[in-house]
Structure 1
């Protein structure tokens, strides 16, 4: 269902763009967020959700277990993030690739499995506002925030399965009245 809706998701944001919305060039995007990205990654690595919440804007943080964002994705408020480690609420985060089984886990379990599943502080490649289609899932991150900055932290695959065991974490920022805010986190992996 999510892939079927992808075509509309790729077209609708472009049609709804205000005339002034345009993507920041990669060099300018890098300069704008390069000091912020390590702080966000450090908060994720240390599971410091109080610190992570300080980077999130008033509209919360949208998280997607895969690279494609849509309206069904979970949006966490700052208080949701601050209580992530202790919150025992089981949420529906999406569907598991391959089986279609629901991803029904706690916030803490979600971040362990679908966000910080590798040390993204040591990526093989970092891209700033450079759209890259790596796997089967449609990457609509740049369409989701056409006026934002998408930072991809990519870890190459290794061994015989290198074409399938790579992974990327994408952090999406938007500039607002209070400066840059983290508005979304997606994960890109090989999907079936």
Structure 2
């Protein structure tokens, strides 16, 4: 009886440890997460269009979160404000990304490029209008290296000053002199994976 009880306790303890280990593990195995910024960019883009919060939240940098910029000029620090009445770009952690489509709260996301009007939307409305808008066609574009020398639009592109240049890629919709847009994504390595730290929406 005593031996059976000991074996039962051991089996239960082992099962509990196994369950705890499984629960604490990331959704991705290390071998499955994107190692290149181009693969990571495609996964972020696809998760946004699919409204897949599980995949998207796992693509976010756990330590830094993701900064959302509604113009080519990234406002990451107080010195970037240059005396304007704008505020720092919003940073979302994984929990905020997880609730992006379910949170009914309206947030200020930044100012609309060109008109300067404030963008106040729920997360779902913001993504639908400014990221996955069917007129932009980011879903069919291929990610390319960020090239600040292209001179698209009149807004200064300071992304390379705020993120490692090799970690920035973009999806382009249209080309100058037409009306166009860029979905610019910045990544940083974390635990051997490329994870999203910046999402920039540029228009020209």
Contact kept? 1:128, 1:150, Cα under 8 Å: yes
> 2:200 matched to which residue of 1?
186
> 2:161 matched to which residue of 1?
143
Once residues 97 and 153 of structure 1 are traced to their aligned partners in structure 2, the CA distance between those partners, rounded to angstroms, is 18
Question: Are residues 1:43 and 2:57 paired?
Answer: no
Contact kept? 1:61, 1:75, Cα under 8 Å: yes
Contact kept? 2:144, 2:169, Cα under 8 Å: yes
The CA deviation at 1:119 is 2.9
Counterpart secondary structure, 2:168: strand
Identify if the C-alpha distance between structure 1 residues 149 and 99 changes in structure 2 by more than 3 Å, giving closer, same or farther.
same
Identify if the C-alpha distance between structure 1 residues 126 and 84 changes in structure 2 by more than 3 Å, giving closer, same or farther.
closer
Contact kept? 2:38, 2:169, Cα under 8 Å: no
> 1:26 matched to which residue of 2?
none
The CA deviation at 1:129 is 4.2
Displacement over 6 Å in runs of 4+: none
What is the number of equivalent residue pairs in this alignment?
A: 155
> 2:144 matched to which residue of 1?
127
Once residues 129 and 165 of structure 1 are traced to their aligned partners in structure 2, the CA distance between those partners, rounded to angstroms, is 18
Greater helix share, structure number: 2
Task: With the length of structure 1 as denominator, give the TM-score of the two structures.
Answer: 0.72
Question: Are residues 1:33 and 2:37 paired?
Answer: yes
In structure 1, stretches of 5+ residues that fail to align are: 1-30
Counterpart secondary structure, 2:55: helix
Q: Deviations over 1:13-38 (max 9, x none)?
A: xxxxxxxxxxxxxxxxxx82232222
> 2:123 matched to which residue of 1?
107
Once residues 148 and 176 of structure 1 are traced to their aligned partners in structure 2, the CA distance between those partners, rounded to angstroms, is 15
* Aligned partner of 2:67 among 38, 62, 71: 62
Contact kept? 2:41, 2:143, Cα under 8 Å: no
